[in-house]
Amino acid sequence: MAGSFWPEDEICQKWLDQQPPGSVIYVAFGSFTELALGLELSNRPFLWVVRPDITKGIESDELYPKGFKERVGSRGKMVGNWAPQRDQYISPQGYSSYQYPVAGDQ
């Protein structure tokens, strides 16, 4: 899975080249549609907490790209309230079923 909906910002590459290897935290929060399509393309199960203050006044079916819910089926779960994180991080077996990538290579 590669590509982008937007042109690359070459100025940031110069800045990145000046940073020590492995020292930068990469954060990219695109549009709601980009996030939805990225989750869909990941082909992985996902839990997506959609904060109510972000979606206030928008009907649920209008939030997601057309056909998104049908395409991800039971592989994706979208919730409108905060998920019980403490209970979800550690399973009874002692490890989490979640993955939290914070860099491009994870």
Q: What is the pLDDT along the chain (106 residues), one digit of tens a residue?
A: 455 556 777 888 888 889 998 888 776 667 888 889 989 998 899 888 887 777 777 777 788 899 999 999 999 988 877 666 655 554 555 445 545 444 444 4
Say if 68 falls within a structural domain: yes
Say if 15 falls within a structural domain: no
What's the pTM value of the predicted model, to 2 decimals? Answer: 0.56
Domain range for 82: 46-98
Say if 70 falls within a structural domain: yes
Say if 8 falls within a structural domain: no
Q: Which residue has the tokens 């899975």?
A: 1
Interatomic CA distance for residues 74 and 84, integer angstroms: 19
Say if 20 falls within a structural domain: no
Alpha helices in the chain (DSSP H): 10-17, 32-42, 60-63, 68-72, 85-89
Interatomic CA distance for residues 106 and 63, integer angstroms: 28
3-state secondary structure (DSSP) of residue 74: helix
Say if 75 falls within a structural domain: yes
Say if 33 falls within a structural domain: no
Provide the domain count of the chain.
1
* 26 neighbors 104 (Cβ within 8 angstroms): yes
DSSP 20: P
Say if 29 falls within a structural domain: no
Interatomic CA distance for residues 38 and 29, integer angstroms: 11
